[in-house]
Amino acid sequence: MNARTSENASFVAWRAQAQQAVETALSNWVLPGAPAGLGDAMRYAVLDGGKRLRPLLVLATSEAVSGDAAAAMRAACSVELIHAYSLVHDDMPCMDNDVLRRGKPTVHVKFGEAQALLAGDALQALAFELLVPGDASVPLGLSVALCRLLALSAGADGMAGGQAVDLASVGKSLDLPSLEAMHRRKTGALLQASVMMGAATGQVSSEATAQLQRFGASLGLAFQVVDDILDVTADSAKLGKTAGKDAACDKPTFVSLMGLESAQQYADRALAEAHDALSQTGLVHRDVLHSLADWVGRRDC
């Protein structure tokens, strides 16, 4: 995922360092020891190749609010595990039936459907386990706040609910509010939760919290519109997943609803709104979050 515009060198360095730290933490927490190959399937699903956008959002927000760094890394990995499990289940034959993800065979292709189902289930449990470490490393109130944000964003009113709407909307033409509502749940909820979990690791005023919520929501929308655009304009090799899938599956997208050019303008507006919300947080150290938003809104893969 390279930005269309030139990137700030310090952000590129921050991102590389943070991605490496997330990769290491995930590798330490998703252990191969789980029985009967389950651990291998879980590691295959999680390690090696993701952009780690959600963890980066957690870490960058936590840094912006001078939050608890150890708790932030747990939160970062927990959202990534939820994201990873959702991809494993979403790729299964009864859902999107996809064979390629991050440039590799999907988990059910590699390990079989039953193991993929279980690996996804176990990853969701592990996501919550990370937030309740069983020692004093995360303050109790913070553990509870993080668990609640994660559970709400992953469940029926969040990601899982959005996927149900997505399933039900195949072959239908949704209007813009319905399409936005679906994506607010399906991808937006976990992206917004990433921001809010990062914020929870520090002390933030209620005004700044509200603006961070708006930042997360706008960023989530920008992410999805760009996703829809790239599904049309990019090729599978670059995306690391099957391109053209939305149209092939007859799914409503921002591009099918408004055309490519208007979708790009819509994405630009969502990105501008994210930047505006961020500037109104009044947070001093918001440069990395600003660059992360650019990275999302202007990516080309």
Binding site for a copy of itself (CB under 8 A): 31, 34-39, 42, 85-86, 89, 92, 94-95, 112-115, 117-118, 120-122, 124-126, 128-129, 131-132, 134, 140-141, 143-145, 147-148, 150-152, 154-158, 160-165, 167-169, 185
Tokens 């927000």 — which residue? Answer: 61
Q: How far is the CB of 135 from a copy of itself (least distance, A)?
A: 10
Going by C-alpha positions, the residue among 33, 15, 48, 64 that lies closest to residue 197 is 64
Residue 236 CB, nearest approach to a copy of itself (Å): 23
| Residue 187 per-residue DSSP state | I
Which CA distances in Å does 252 have to 115, 182, 229, 246? 31, 10, 12, 7
Min CB(120)–a copy of itself separation in Å: 7
Residue 299 main-chain phi, psi, to 5 deg: -70, 160
Between the two ends of the chain, the Cα-to-Cα distance in Å is 5
Q: How far is the CB of 173 from a copy of itself (least distance, A)?
A: 16
Least Å distance, CB 116 to a copy of itself, is 8
Give the number of other Cβ atoms within 10 Å of residue 84's Cβ: 27
Closest CB to a copy of itself among residues 113, 250: 113
Distance CA 256, CA 225 (A): 11
Tabulate helix, strand, coil % of the chain (nearest 5): 70, 0, 25
Smallest distance from a copy of itself to CB 256, Å: 19
Give φ, ψ of 141 to 5 degrees.
-65, -35
CB of 77 or CB of 278, closer to a copy of itself: 77
- Residue from 61, 54, 118 nearest 81 by CA: 54
Q: Give whichever of 101 and 275 is closer to a copy of itself, judged by the CB atom.
A: 101
Task: For the chain, give the number of residues.
Answer: 301
Q: Which is nearer to a copy of itself, 127 or 296 (CB)?
A: 127
**Nearest CB to a copy of itself, comparing residues 46 and 225:** 46
Identify which of residues 108 and 290 has a Cβ nearer to a copy of itself in the complex.
108
- Residue 35's identity, in one-letter code, is P
CB of 183 to a copy of itself, least distance (A): 13
CA distances 193 to 146, 184, 187, 219, Å, are 9, 11, 10, 11
- Cβ distance to a copy of itself smaller for residue 166 or 227: 166
